[in-house]
Structure 1
């Protein structure tokens, strides 16, 4: 049954998704789009966009929307899809809750030891790798088009990608404003 699979899948993502929501995106995409094929790549991209625009952590938002969409795509009605949404969200959060309860006192006691400091130093590069993987996994023909299918859309997509990167990285423009600018540019240039 899809609810058990959703719970198991998102529990594992929550258990191994170091680096917060952005670090989980590549895991969520791999499981929901590639492994289980609950969502299409385009649906996942829309979910990521909506998850970034709505309040709350992106990983939890993505799990909520993925659970809903996966259940709805499986043929369930809206109420059952909402149950799928709740299942995925709860499963994603549960490992963190359990782990925090179990290790909070121990970690605080040994936080300044070299072993713990080295463990966190080893996790930092892995988190950066997960974020890079999430970005690279979203660079598909569905999101950028291709030079052979639609050269105009491909060029505009590359320009918007570069402009957004430069705007947020170097010019320190608020990412929310960059999303708005990209949406307006997409409406004007791709309509």
Structure 2
């Protein structure tokens, strides 16, 4: 059990340390660690955890680390994974704040930040592709497109259209889609 706790702490310390872009940008990194490397979760359970993590208050990475740790090793696992995820971010934030305060007038800092924004956008788009594949095909493997879940596609398109056209409250939209999905998948 102690070995699993150390693995959880270390895996989420890495995720927290290398999560440039945060939020959705780190979903592929989390998936690589918890599904592919350690095998703590299946892709289906991972997709469910990402969904739940989005609906619960707090940052996506922290919520996901807590749920993964809970699933992999109970409450001690949740604590180890969450602490691992948070600690590196806190240390990096303190160091970056000090660095930017010291070099606030530099010509190069805005250039570096622009390149980090571009990298972050690429990571977010990759995460979007993973979420779409998991939702529509049940796996993140793009080759599974023939297993397309048509109901999920129509729910997605309906929610997207309703959000863009009528600016519905996201919580209300999730409740509506959850109810519709409950009826459609029965």
TM-score band, normalised by the shorter chain? 0.7 to 0.9
Q: Is residue 89 of structure 1 aligned with residue 91 of structure 2? A: no
**Residue number in structure 1 paired with 2:130:** 137
**Quick one: structure 1 residues 109 and 147, their matched pair in 2 at CA, closer, same or farther if it must change by over 3 Å?**
closer
**2:92 aligned partner:** 99
Structure 1 vs Structure 2 CA RMSD: 2.2
The alpha-carbon deviation at position 51 of structure 1 amounts to 0.9
Task: Compute the displacement of 1:16 (Å).
Answer: 0.7
Unaligned runs of 5+ in 1: 72-80
User: 1 CA distance for matches of 2:106 and 2:62?
Assistant: 32
TM-score of the superposition, structure 2-length normalised? 0.86
Q: How many residues are treated as equivalent by the alignment?
A: 178
1:158-173 matched pairs, under 5 angstroms: 158-173=153-168
Could you tell me which residue of structure 2 aligns to residue 65 of structure 1?
67
1:40 is displaced (CA, Å) by 0.7
Which consecutive residues of structure 2, in runs of 5 or more, have no partner in the other structure?
none
Q: Is the 8 A contact 1:111 1:117 kept in 2?
A: no
Q: Does 1:28 align with 2:30?
A: yes
Hey, what's the Cα distance between the residues in 2 that align with 1:156 and 1:41?
A: 20
Out of 5, 8, 11, which is 2:10 matched to? 8
- Cα distance between partner residues in 1 of 2:172 and 2:183: 17
* Contact 1:26 1:137 survives alignment (8 Å): yes
- What is the TM-score with the length of structure 1 in the denominator? 0.84
In structure 2, relative to structure 1, the CA distance for the partners of 1:82 and 1:134 (3 Å cut) is: same
TM-aligned CA deviation for residue 160 of structure 1: 1.1
Distance in structure 2 (CA, Å) of the matches to 1:25 and 1:125: 17
Shift of 1:170: 5.0
